[in-house]
Amino acid sequence: MNLLANHPFAKMNGAGNEIVVLDLRGDRARVTPSDARAIARARGLAYDQLMVLDAPRAAGSAAFMTIFNNDGSLSSACGNGTRCVAYMLTRDTDIRRLRLDTAAGPLECVRDGEFAFTVNMGPPRLDWRDIPLRDEARDTSAVWLNAPDLCPVFQTFCAVNMGNPHAVFFVDDPAAVDLARIGPRIETDPIFPEKANVSIARVLSRDHINLRVWERGAGITLACGTAACATLVAAARKDLTDRAATVTLPGGDLRIEWRESDGHVLMSGPVELEFEGRFDPAIFDGAD
């Protein structure tokens, strides 16, 4: 029997971003890509990201997070999921601050309220090699996308890495964009060796952005914390906004600040605990 059978989990969301939290600290069980896909297919457990907690690898950390997308691929960062994890690790305690480690580095979390947290997402990576891009780009705020099959508005994007690569496009009306069509096309364009999240944004004012997101490995999601961070950075680089703004996604609002003092990006927003349960062993029967 799969060691994840009957294991407890929490189903949550962060501003609509569907999250499953699985705490394996002190447990022999491990999650494979096949397990991650099986959980995503289970009735009532469809998620955008699966946050798997293992024992911390660095002194002072509460846990090491491995992040799966619903197709079984790995993500290096998930801001909304990190807030969900922070809630699970601090609920019913007086802990106000904790650190979580990821493949992209440590994330500092601060409790703002019972169901609200701020995550220090660290500094954005803006060099073309760090995003990464296939081709050299001296100015990653305006990168040419060789995509004659797309309309002209999708020929230039701003590239940002917030633990994972992002392509940010500014348009007049995000709702009018056929994201289900252009999202996978841009995600898998050869210019992105590690694929990319695709953000379609409209600047409403100096402190307000409207955003829709196609996440690599997950598809269209109601919210994406790293995309909100990347979009604010992109907008500020283009002087379309100030260095702090509310980013409105279909699932809710996130407050993003690109702090001038150290260049770190702070993301503040809500979490919701939907329910807790244990995995039905049948979920893992014949997992591919």
Confidence at 170, pLDDT banded by 50, 70, 90: very high
Q: How many domains does the chain have?
A: 2
Q: How far apart are CA 280 and CA 185, in angstroms?
A: 36
Q: Are residues 106 and 149 in the same domain?
A: no
Q: How are beta strands 165-170 and 197-205 bridged, if at all?
A: parallel
| CATH code of the domain containing 71 | 3.10.310.10
Lowest mean pLDDT, pick from 11-15, 95-99, 144-148 = 144-148
In the prediction, which pLDDT does 198 show? 97
Tell me if residue 224 is catalytic.
Answer: yes
Domain assignment present for residue 1? The answer is no
Q: How confident is the model at residue 287 (pLDDT cuts 50, 70, 90)?
A: low
Asked if 99 and 170 sit in the same domain, the reply is no
Q: What is the token pair recorded at 30?
A: 């491990």
Q: Are residues 148 and 111 in the same domain?
A: no
The dihedral formed by the CA atoms of 164, 84, 38 and 213, expressed in degrees to the nearest 10? -40
Question: Quick one: 27 and 43 in the same domain?
Answer: yes
Q: Give me the catalytic one of 78, 84, 109, 158.
A: 78
Is 109 catalytic? The answer is: no
Query: Residues for the chain: how many in total?
Result: 288
Spatial separation of the C-alpha atoms in residues 155 and 143, rounded to whole Å: 8
pTM of the model: 0.93
Please indicate, yes or no, whether residues 223 and 275 belong to a single structural domain of this protein. Answer: no
Active-site hit among 84, 109, 158, 224: 224
Domain ranges, residue 183: 143-263
